[in-house]
Structure 1
Amino acid sequence: MTHRPVHHTSRGALTNTASRFAATHAEDFDDGWDTLDTTAEEDAEQAPPTRLHRDPTRRVIATNDSPDVPFAASINPYKGCAHGCIYCFARPTHEYLDHSAGRDFETELYYKPEAATLLADELRHSAYRCTPITLGANTDPYQPDDRKLAITREILETAEAFNQPVSIITKGAHVTRDLDILARLAKQNLVSVFVSVTSLDTAIKRTLEPRAAAPGQRLKTIAALADAGVPTGALVAPIIPMITDHEIEHLIEAVATAGATRANYVLLRLPHSVKTLFREWLDAHYPDRAAHVMSLINQMRGGADYESAWGTRMTGTGTYADLIAKRFRLACTRHALNHERFELDTSAFAPPPASGDQMGLGF
């Protein structure tokens, strides 16, 4: 079912178009006989609530061999994300669950209550070979509902018990809730954290990432992590032409001042239904420049809204993409970022004795 675009201050997507995998699609129209059901349209005017669903997954470690992704293993404690970032490249994955990549992605959330237990089982498996595991590769491990569910903290507790190295990507300020664990892991070179900072402009953030932490809060988060001795970087993602690209130098200065020692960036990606959602967002919030924004995106994506080739999907191609890359590189050099990589230690990995395991007690 599709509806006209409606903006809610707490949500990023303006529509909730059916999954592209749905067997049938329906669209309301007025046939002239007063048969149009306006109930759905009226419901669309109401702020959509968040609904939580248990995810019955039996495994939590996902692996990938993509040559342009800097990790081989990841865990996503949640499917969907209440932060509501309109640009999120993970939105189309919700369509595999027969949900929309639009509002459903932000409101129909799946959580993995057994994630820590499943992780322990997988780490104990004889075939497991220790490699750093990334939390937040698709959806944020510190999104709003984790404040009460605390699944990410349980995963970190398991990682600490096994000396399993982890890297974290988040724009959730409540990562600082787990500073005690993160500080201990950092002393053993078992953790790094990248905080995503898209814009320093609260007005841009308000519609771009409606339920994510404010820019100032993210800078404070970087400072708190760095002060605790946690290797901390910033992920400037996505860079959006004519919306956030003018902030590149200011962003790098701000995150470096806060305590970040590394910074990376990703150019806006618009796979599948994200391109439609983003165009709706542009038309609603930046109608004066929407055509120009998409023109620049097309120039950096081989004439299309998105080009998924490995090696260039993160940075784009062409003159404008090259200019962004150069500006980012020079800004990082100016503020002494990226001198060292975060190389986590895998040699200390050691599964603790399982409950009831007498062989591991030294008798």
Structure 2
Amino acid sequence: MFCSPHASNRQQAVKGRGKSANPANRFEPVHFVQDDDYEPHQKKTPTRYLKDDSESILATNNSPDIPFMYSLNPYRGCEHGCMYCYARPTHEYLGFSAGLDFESVILVKENAPALLRKAFLKKSWQPQTVVMSGVTDPYQPAEKHFRLTRQCLEVFLEFRNPVSIITKNHLITRDLDLLTKLAAERLVRVNVSLTTLNPRLTDTLEPRTSRPQRRLEAIRKLSEAGIETGLMTAPVIPGINDHEIPALLEAAAEAGASHAGYVMLRLPWAVKEIFSDWFDQHYPDRRQKVLSRVTDTRGGKLYEADFATRMKGSGPFAEQVRTLFAVSAKRFGLKLRRHSEPLNTSAFIRGDQLKLGL
């Protein structure tokens, strides 16, 4: 039985964090309820890094609405602290909370590069694009110290296996040397996630991510280096950032992006409560209107997991977003992400070739 030391049913201001408390873990029978007169002594929650001794590194996906089979996540949990993050409930499988724990307790897979190399050495491995990361951001703050994403990129380059990267952190530009080598053989694609151009909104919605202009700068640097780079507007939040779609695509195109895609807001499990609490803190007057629009895109619910609609939503408002995004992409010369050409798999180097020094 696990009791999260931070669990709480009341919001507190925690400096530099997105979620200020921990909702109960749905898998745990016991959790703490904070007394109304409790005043925390610690206004700032430090990040803890725990070693993750996973014995494999490639996660397999069989969801028909996701266009890749394998993903690689060097870290579990994400210090970026995005309030809408659909990955938050994955921390509950580890005995932690989807709230503050997800942002402040980061599991580190120190053997990720070695496990990736082991996977590529298997005779059964069929070269194909691996996504970094399918769940948490590979360039979150922990990467500055652990450098696991960079080490994994070295393995991708060694075996000439294609990799697709999704991030909202300018830190990716640190690895331009490796990315340009991968790009020379069409082995890499980058999607920079940009939700808003408003830094004030970023401060509360995505507190530890790179600011919007820094992400646009990353798109510019990557594109100028010959790396195929696109914009990912994820998520589109009805009544919060949907009106920014044309401006977001225009800014990305001006920075050199070649393609764009989006995902409608998803609120699985504990994310519903976390995101609703964010409205209570920052936009209480808009809470009901926005959540009502969310239900309009989810068949009358806050979330619907159906594979056919979970990424784009359904209903009139979801159709308006689809149309606006497509028209804006065409206007600014951006391909829709689903029309991107597959990365190169023919350059893959087998283990016996490595031994021969080929």
With the length of structure 1 as denominator, give the TM-score of the two structures: 0.93
Deviation of the 1:361 alpha carbon: 5.8
**Identity value in percent:** 43
Aligned residues: CA RMSD: 1.6
The aligned residue for residue 12 of structure 1 is 18
* Per-residue deviation, 1:14: 2.6
Q: Match of 2:233, SS?
A: strand
**Equivalents in 2 of 1:275, 1:58: separation in Å?**
32
Distance 1:308 1:66, change over 3 A: same
> For residues 71-111 of structure 1, what are the alpha-carbon distances to aligned partners after superposition, in whole Å with 9 as ceiling and x for unaligned?
11100010000000000000000000100000000000011
1:215-246 deviation line (CA, Å, top 9, x unaligned): 00000000000000000001001011111111
* Matching residue of 2:251: 254
Aligned match of 1:148: 145
| Cα distance in structure 2, aligned partners of 1:148 and 1:114 | 15
Q: Which residue of 1 aligns with 2:73?
A: 76
More divergent stretch after superposition (16-25 vs 65-74) = 16-25
Residue aligning to 2:169 = 172
Tell me if 1:331 matches 2:337.
Answer: no
Quick one: distance in 2 between partners of 1:310 and 1:294? 21
Partners in 1 of 2:34 and 2:46 — Cα distance? 23
- Greater Cα radius of gyration, structure 1 or 2: 1
Task: Tell me, yes or no, if the aligned pair for 2:83 and 2:205 is still in contact at 8 Å.
Answer: yes
Would you say how many aligned residue pairs link Structure 1 and Structure 2?
Answer: 350
- Give the Cα separation in 2 of the matches to 1:176 and 1:271: 32
Gaps of 5+ in 2: 1-6
3-state DSSP class of the match of 1:347?
A: coil
Q: Distance in 2 between matches of 1:209 and 1:342?
A: 31
Matched ranges for 1:271-350 at <5 A: 271-338=268-335, 341-350=340-349
Three-state SS of the structure 2 residue aligned to 1:237 is strand
Please report how far the alpha carbon of residue 114 of structure 1 lies from its aligned counterpart in structure 2 after TM superposition.
Answer: 0.8
Aligned to 1:187: 184
Question: What is the one-letter code of the residue matched to 2:8?
Answer: T
Map 1:1-363 to 2 at 5 A: 1-29=7-35, 38=38, 41-43=39-41, 46-338=43-335, 341-352=340-351, 360=356
Distance in 2 (CA, whole Å) between partners of 1:102 and 1:26 is 13
> Helix, strand or coil: the match of 1:42?
coil
Deviation at residue 19 of structure 1 after TM alignment: 1.3
**Structure 1: unaligned runs, 5 residues or longer:** 31-35
- 8 Å Cα contact 2:15-2:45 kept in structure 1: no
Cα shift readout 1:257-282 (whole Å, capped 9, x = no counterpart) = 10001000001000000000000001
CA–CA separation in structure 2 for the residues paired with 1:118 and 1:21 = 29
Match of 2:4 in 1: none
> Deviations along 1:266-321, whole A, 9 cap, x unmatched?
01000000000000001110011100000000111111110010021011111111
Q: d(CA) in 1 for partners of 2:324 and 2:14? A: 35
Q: Secondary structure at the match of 1:180?
A: helix
Distance in 1 (alpha carbons) for counterparts of 2:242 and 2:15 = 24
Q: Return the letter of the residue paired with 1:345.
A: N
Residue 197 of structure 1 deviates from its aligned partner by: 0.3
Secondary structure at the residue paired with 1:207?
helix
Aligned-pair distance for 1:126? 1.6
Helix, strand or coil for the counterpart of 2:238? coil
Q: Distance in 1 between matches of 2:11 and 2:271?
A: 15
Q: Distance in 1 between matches of 2:99 and 2:332?
A: 38
The structural deviation recorded for 1:189 is 0.6
Aligned partners of 1:9 and 1:206 also within 8 Å: no
- Structure 1 window deviating more from structure 2 (133-142 vs 63-72): it is 63-72
The corresponding residue for 1:33 is none
Distance 1:338 1:224 in 2: 19
Amino acid at match of 1:16: N
In 2: Cα distance, 1:353 partner to 1:91 partner: 41
Shift of 1:2: 1.6
Cα shift readout 1:90-147 (whole Å, capped 9, x = no counterpart): 0000000100000000000011111111100011112111110000210000001101
Give the drift of 1:4: 1.4
Contact (CA 8 Å) 1:9, 1:207: kept in 2 or not?
no
Provide the C-alpha distance between the structure 1 equivalents of 2:28 and 2:164, rounded to a whole number of angstroms.
35
Distance in 2 of aligned mates of 1:218 and 1:7: 27
